[in-house]
Amino acid sequence: MTNGQKDSLFILVRSLSKSEKRQFKLYVGRLGVNAESKFLMLFNTLDKMKAYDEAVILNKGFVKKQQLSNLKAHLYKQILISLRLNPAHQNIRLQIREQLDFATILYQKGLYKQSLKTLDKAKTMAMDNDENNLAYEIVELEKVIETQYITRSISNRADQLAVQTKELSQKNVLASKLSNLSLQLYGIMLKTGYVRSDAEYQYITQYFNARLPECDPDTLGFRELMWYYKAHLWYSFLTQDFLACFKFANKYVELFYDHPKQIRLNPVFFLKGNNYLLEALYLLKYRTKFKEVLERLETTINDGGIASNDNVDSLCFLYLDNNRLNLHFLEGTFEEGEAWVVPILKGLKEFRNQIDPHHVMVFYYKIACLYFGMGNHKQCIEYLNKIIKNTSLKMREDLMCFARVLSLVAHYEAGMDYHLEVQLKSTYKFLLKMNDLHEVQKEMIKFLRNLGDIYPQDLKKEFSKLHKELKKYEDHPYERRAFLYLDIISWLESKIENRPVGEIIREKANRLMR
């Protein structure tokens, strides 16, 4: 039996909507295929399955085991062709490629004028929508045709095509370099998180400057400018320059609002840009601007400003719900935030094929922090264990480290400290292994280790000592990252003042008034 989560055809069939399934059957009918054809029978069988089971298919008797692989490949291809014909999946790129395909067919038939006319139409569409890679491909075919068939309609046709090729090539090379740099920085962020020392800061800065191509932002087109902002954005995140993060993320988002058709053409980039902006505002604790950006994004989505498909829908869920939780963290309204837990778990199940394990773990950490803020420490531990016990997670080492530190605190708060010494040693070893042991963590572990020797009447005094010690690191360029994952200062203040941590955070949020 094959795991249904790994069988590509089964996943594809299960992802189809009712209208897409209906169109597929109509498409098969137009082909004039017999209703009892094997690939249609396979489709109907898969459609009725809750989980993929090869034995069920073979027991139907319409296909032998040695034929099944080829039949599945044929069905997979036919479904994709059907989906390509569906208006819901049509976008400007497909339309341009369709025209390019038509022009290629006309050229192969020797109908050069008709081919050139179709290519000219496709090129205009590509350039109007900043699809420079496609435009370059079109110009290259125009050059091939012109070398065979001289139209003489434009005397400087060869020079014109040569200039267009050079301009498009330069744009594509620049966009490629910027997108490569952005992706490489993102990879570093996933692997290690924020910089942790001057040496790491110097390394990232040299890495960034060495790969950043020379260019004038004022002369860049939409796509190159988008990648330019994104590369600077990831550099700013890595170096914890959150004001610069806000600056470049805001420029990135406004670029889309200045070019509204790009929102529909590139919804994924638009959604990601808004998520970067919201994350920067969250890290800056700029609550009013955060709410404004989140509401604007929700309005754009709800008003149909973004084309809907499975990929886009999963990202809307991911970014909206993640930032709704962040808003409750900023406001200290943990009890109200709990209302999002069930919809989030439902969304994670619904979009399990679109959302990667890294983002699932981030959600679990956020939910754990939500319960910690509510004082529900057992629920907090339950979600942290989902991260700690995930041995297959190879990304975001900092998330795994802080999950363990928060787990120690939650176990203490829940009165589940009978195995605390074992956990302390395990966490200490893990942090050393990850090369992630910093002053804030050292102080936390030292405090928790000595708890057993502190008399109850002296606890408040010891909390005050730890609070004073940690306050020194609150604005430290590398130590402050600990406070990005858990508001340890507010937790200590809640212990000193004997008040709920949510109340402390709400007061701070109201004092900031921004």
Residue 262 CA to residue 371 CA, distance in Å, equals: 39
Residues in the chain predicted with pLDDT less than 70, given as ranges, are: 1-5, 31-36, 87-90, 149-155, 393-398, 417-425, 427-438, 451-452, 454-456, 480-482, 484-486, 512-514
**Those residues with Cβ within 8 angstroms of residue 505's Cβ, 6 or more apart along the chain or in another chain:** 329, 331, 332, 373, 487, 490
pLDDT of residue 498: 84
DSSP letter (8 states) at residue 129 = T
Q: How far is CA 86 from CA 17, 80, 342, in A?
A: 12, 10, 34
pLDDT of residue 4: 46
**Those residues with Cβ within 8 angstroms of residue 307's Cβ, 6 or more apart along the chain or in another chain:** 91, 264, 267
pLDDT of residue 2: 43
Q: Which two tokens stand for residue 198?
A: 């001057």
SS3 for 35-79 is CCCHHHHHHHHHHHCCCCCHHHHHHCCCCCHHHHHHHHHHHHHHH
In 414-480, alpha helices (H):
420-433, 439-449, 459-471
Specify the pTM.
0.76
pLDDT of residue 42: 92
Answer yes or no: are the C-beta atoms of 427 and 408 closer than 8 Å: yes
Q: Helices 222-238 and 242-258 meet at what angle, rounded to 10?
A: 160
In 193-333, alpha helices (H):
198-211, 222-238, 242-258, 261-265, 267-284, 287-302, 310-331
Phi and psi (nearest 5°) for 349?
-70, -45
Residue 6 CA to residue 10 CA, distance in Å, equals: 8
Residue 469 CA to residue 440 CA, distance in Å, equals: 9
pLDDT of residue 484: 65
Q: Mean pLDDT over all residues of the chain? A: 84
Chain position carrying tokens 């990005």:
484
Tell me the one-letter amino acid at 37. Answer: S
pLDDT of residue 89: 62
